[in-house]
Amino acid sequence: MKKLVLVFTMFLSVFTLAACGLGDDDVLRVGMDTSYPPFETTLDGEPEGISVEIAKELGDFLGREVEIVETDFGGLIQSLNIGEVDVIIGSMSITEERAQSVDFSDPYQQFNIIGLVNQDFGDTHGIDSQSSHEEVLEIEETRFTGIVDQVSGDLPREFGFDVIEENDLGNAVTNVAQGQADVLMMSGMPVARGHVANPDSTFILYDYFEPSPIGMAVRQGEDELLNDINEFIAQMDELGVNDRLADLWENADDWIDDEDLKEAMQEFEMEYFLP
């Protein structure tokens, strides 16, 4: 009887492991924060945006169904490492700090880090939207704000400045708009949204501080998946993916419902799609 129970238990274990493996092979669970249109957003309850399309293209390349798992940006790496998702495709900058916790793919996009600037600060120091970022960095008393564990907080420190850190974008924007901070460094769309929400107390510094490479992230040691992703990224141009993404970008305002934001977006010199 004991042997029978043991055999049954072993059979059940093998069956369970096989079933889990089959599920992992069939479905690619992609983590992203869908509160950053036009790259990651939700329309009519469904994930939409350029990053969603990239995830679908990757799924087609791998022959796997894609499931978008909506996760707060600050929780994406934890979600990945505890196995809730298989890959992060969510406009995540490749940084040394993050690379201690995850393995990054080769870059597949690049975001230029520009600035949301307090208007009074600009008036006081003779800075406007057409100034250079060097002019801002030369002002030793410039007060930066940023988001914990994001480039907006890390980059000013690399330039030698203290940073007023917040846990979410809204508070960081409020810091600039209300004058508790002078500058928020971030990619184009969040900066544009912050300015459109505070048109009289902020302006956009268009000269970018630094390009920020964007990568997909997998759990450390997932070499096979990482190699497959890098193969996909290497062929994005050849497969026509970049052309399709560029077409999507030209119509990206379909995912934006604010006319002022659409206008601000058109001012950017976009260099998102790498050859």
Using CA atoms, how far apart are residues 201 and 199, in angstroms rounded to an integer?
A: 6
Task: Check residue 36 and give its pLDDT.
Answer: 83
Report the share of the chain in percent with pLDDT over 90.
62
The amino acid sitting at 49 is G
Q: Are strands 46-48 and 163-166 parallel, antiparallel or unpaired?
A: unpaired
Task: Check residue 187 and give its pLDDT.
Answer: 87
Say yes or no to pLDDT of 120 above 70. Answer: yes
CATH number at 111-212: 3.40.190.10
pLDDT tens readout for residues 95-104: 888 999 999 9
Does 38 sit behind a cis peptide bond, omega within 30 degrees of 0 on the bond before it?
yes
Are both 2-108+215-265 and 111-212 of the same fold?
Answer: yes
Which region, left, alpha or beta, applies to residue 18 given φ > 0 means left and ψ of -120 to 50 means alpha?
A: alpha
Fold entry, domain 2-108+215-265: D-Maltodextrin-Binding Protein; domain 2 (3.40.190)
| φ and ψ at residue 42, rounded to 5 degrees | -135, 130
Upper half-sphere CA count for residue 152 (Cβ side, 13 Å): 30
If pLDDT is split at 50, 70 and 90, which confidence band does 166 have?
very high
What are the domain boundaries of the chain?
Answer: 2-108+215-265, 111-212
pLDDT tens readout for residues 191-204: 988 998 999 999 99
